[in-house]
Amino acid sequence: MSLRIIVVLAVLTGISGSPSVTVGPEADSADTRAHPNSVPETVEKTEILGQQEVIVQEKAEENVMATGELNINHYPARRAAHVVQHYLNTLYGSPYRLLQLHKIHRGNAEDVSDSERKYELEISVQELIGNTTGKCSAEILFPRGERQRSPQVQASCEELLKINTKAQEEALYQQYKMNSGLLSAQNLPDSYGHIEPDMKPFWHLSIVAASFVMLNESSENTLYNMAQVANITQLATENDQLKFDCHILLHEMVSQEIIHWKLLFTWSPPDGVKVLQMEQLPHRHEGEIPPNTN
Ligand SMILES: *[C@@H]1O[C@H](CO)[C@@H](O)[C@H](O)[C@H]1NC(C)=O
Ligand SMILES: *[C@@H]1O[C@H](CO)[C@@H](O)[C@H](O)[C@H]1NC(C)=O
Ligand SMILES: *[C@@H]1O[C@H](CO)[C@@H](O)[C@H](O)[C@H]1NC(C)=O
């Protein structure tokens, strides 16, 4: 009896693991173009290719899949975990500190009222620049129906912020605070996926600013990634913040849309990133707006 169960489990694991085995080289290059960023490719690849199939399944079995213990390889857990990533970047991100989902260990989802759903996740998060990894426990509350409310996140992490980035941040700040020439850059990364070393801090800074948008725009049915900075321009300020005007491209992986946003944000080492304005630009694909009700 118990032996039979083990055999069935083994077969199921084999099946759910198969999409990542079928990843082909053409898909690789297509994906690298779509995501010319520093995110490890293997994770994203699997996501994109598995996407259509998984979405179809989710539509059919939405209630079964998204409630109770979650399969950590399926999209409900992954989408919620990305919201935690955006949240952590809004709190701790800097030109020298960028957090990224590394692994999902466990997940659970439940309806907590008619209007909210709660996810509880155990994940590992990686700090990309210093290359440290730490575990986080997180709770994500998604409002149902109302599109304008963003998810509420709580997270506690260990070991993540060990590396002190103060000296690097202060040096960058002083360099660009002088205002001798205001920064202006286009296409981070360029179409070859390349970013000049001295522009990398601004790519990271833009991802942090974008995280405010991605957090605010996320729902249970979205999966946002930063795709590119079309341009970023430093503006003169009278106060002690550096100020930037920035045009970014986000990739929403469920609808496969590239979405353009214009952001106005400030940064300084003690105050971090503050987004003053965010505006979505009418640059969408043909596709329709993702459904907002369940
Ligand atoms: C990050 O650290 C892990 C082990 O701690 C190592 O295996 C990996 O190669 C490192 N990655 C980079 C990009 O340095
Ligand atoms: C999220 O976006 C909505 C709609 O643009 C806006 O009203 C709201 O203030 C934003 N929330 C946050 C936390 O930025
Ligand atoms: C920034 O890039 C966008 C998209 O390519 C473009 O429409 C806009 O004119 C650019 N703005 C500046 C200031 O270069």
For residue 16, is it within any domain? no
Pairing type for strands 272-281 and 68-69 reads unpaired
Task: State the average pLDDT over residues 31-42.
Answer: 34
The model's pTM is 0.76
15-19, 66-70, 188-192, 279-283: segment of lowest average pLDDT:
15-19
Ligand with the closest atom to the CA of 149: 2
Higher per-residue confidence, 60 vs 106: 106
Percentage helix, strand, coil, to 5, in the chain?
A: 35, 35, 30
Give yes or no for residue 80 having a pLDDT over 70.
Answer: yes
- In ligand 3, which atom is closest to the CA atom of 231? 1
For residue 30, is it within any domain? no
Ligand with the closest atom to the CA of 150: 2
For residue 11, is it within any domain? no
Cβ of 231 closer than 6 Å to ligand 3, yes or no, is yes
Beta bridge partners of 154: 139
For residue 25, is it within any domain? no
Measured between its terminal Cα atoms, the distance across the chain in Å is: 39
Distance 179 CA to ligand 2 centre (A): 31
Instruction: Quote the number of domains for the chain.
Output: 1
For residue 7, is it within any domain? no
pLDDT level of residue 161 (50, 70, 90 thresholds):
confident
Give yes or no for residue 31 having a pLDDT over 70.
Answer: no
For residue 5, is it within any domain? no
For residue 29, is it within any domain? no
Q: For atom 6 of ligand 2, which residue has the closest CA? A: 148
State the DSSP H helix or E strand holding residue 106, giving kind and residue range, or none if neither. strand 99-111
Name the burial class of residue 84, with classes exposed (0-12), middle (13-18) and buried (19+) by CB atoms within 10 angstroms of its CB: buried
* Whole-number pLDDT of residue 58: 42
pLDDT level of residue 148 (50, 70, 90 thresholds):
low
202-221 pLDDT tens trace: 999 999 999 999 999 999 99
pLDDT level of residue 163 (50, 70, 90 thresholds):
confident
- In ligand 3, which atom is closest to the CA atom of 230? 2
Domain housing 141: 36-280
Q: For atom 1 of ligand 2, which residue has the closest CA? A: 216
Beta bridge partners of 118: 110, 141
5-25 pLDDT tens trace: 333 333 333 333 333 332 233
Give the domain CATH number at 107: 3.10.450.10
Contact of 92 with 160, CB cutoff 8 Å: yes
Q: Mean pLDDT score of the chain, rounded to an integer?
A: 79
